[in-house]
Amino acid sequence: MYRGKTVTAVIPCYNEEEGIRFVIEKMPEFVDEIIVVDNNSTDRTSEVAKGLGARVIFEKRKGYGRAYKTGIPAAETDFVVTLDGDGSYPLDEIRRLLDHLMDNDLDFVSGRRFPLKQSKSMHFMNQVGNTALTIVMLLLYFRNIKDSQSGMWAFKSSIYKDFKMTSDGMPFSEELKIEAIISPDVKFEEFHIDYHERIGEVKLNMWEDGIRNLLFLVKKRFFR
Ligand SMILES: Nc1nc2c(ncn2[C@@H]2O[C@H](COP(=O)(O)OP(=O)(O)OP(=O)(O)O)[C@@H](O)[C@H]2O)c(=O)[nH]1
Ligand SMILES: [Mg+2]
């Protein structure tokens, strides 16, 4: 419970046994429930998460977005916060995001990593890719978004049911922000957060995922 409100942390994980330990061990005490959504991990992600008190939901259908589509509606609290299971989003930022949400009576706050507080926390090419995708989103939606790909958000659980989420993959992140900014009832802001290099093996395929995310932005804007 934080400032009188209940909070769930939802974490999608694919083979993050090292990272998820770090994340759960550092989780602030006020977080009421931790939901780890595991997509057929072949390592000990689910055992580690369960052992540290998280609720593990197994989702057979693959994908970052698919994991969130299952995990977010499972939260029964007032607020949802999200982050990766790789230690890249600092746990202290949860409190700051919730404070920003509550102090300003917002519905959705998206963690903004740029400008990076530590330039080494993200590979240069990933910074270039992120910037390019954010510029495309800005041109397509005319909103001053500075980090279209951030995976750390805090929002009122009640708003999610009205979002028309179609992506099961990495574009889920940009799609969620688009749904938030186009919804007239949702008060959306970005909030500057810290970011660290991930723990564990990199799974993202920079070119493949980057191009997929780009095509998704165009498809979402003109064909949906
Ligand atoms: N359940 C589930 N989780 C996934 C899947 N793909 C990625 N994830 C998790 O989603 C989070 C974000 O994925 P990352 O691979 O860290 O993507 P990223 O942050 O853009 O890339 P890095 O810079 O390498 O951290 C991590 O916790 C992953 O374990 C998936 O298919 N299923
Ligand atoms: Mg990550």
| Cα–Cα dist 127/116, whole Å | 9
- The yes or no reply on domain 7-121+150-199 and CATH 3.40.640.10 is no
Q: Which atom of ligand 1 has the smallest separation from the CA of 66?
A: 32
Nearest CA to ligand 1 atom 3: 13
Q: What are the tens digits of pLDDT across the range 157-186?
A: 999 999 999 999 999 999 999 999 999 999
Tell me, rounded to whole angstroms, the distance of Cα 7 from its chain centroid: 15
Give the residue ranges of the chain where pLDDT is below 50.
none
Q: Which atom of ligand 1 has the smallest separation from the CA of 169?
A: 31
Does the CB atom of residue 202 touch ligand 1 within 6 A? yes
Does the CB atom of residue 16 touch ligand 1 within 6 A? yes
Residue 44 Cα, ligand 1 centroid: separation in angstroms? 16
Task: List the structure tokens of 157.
Answer: 């659980």
| Cα–Cα dist 61/126, whole Å | 27
pLDDT of residue 224: 75
Nearest CA to ligand 1 atom 20: 204
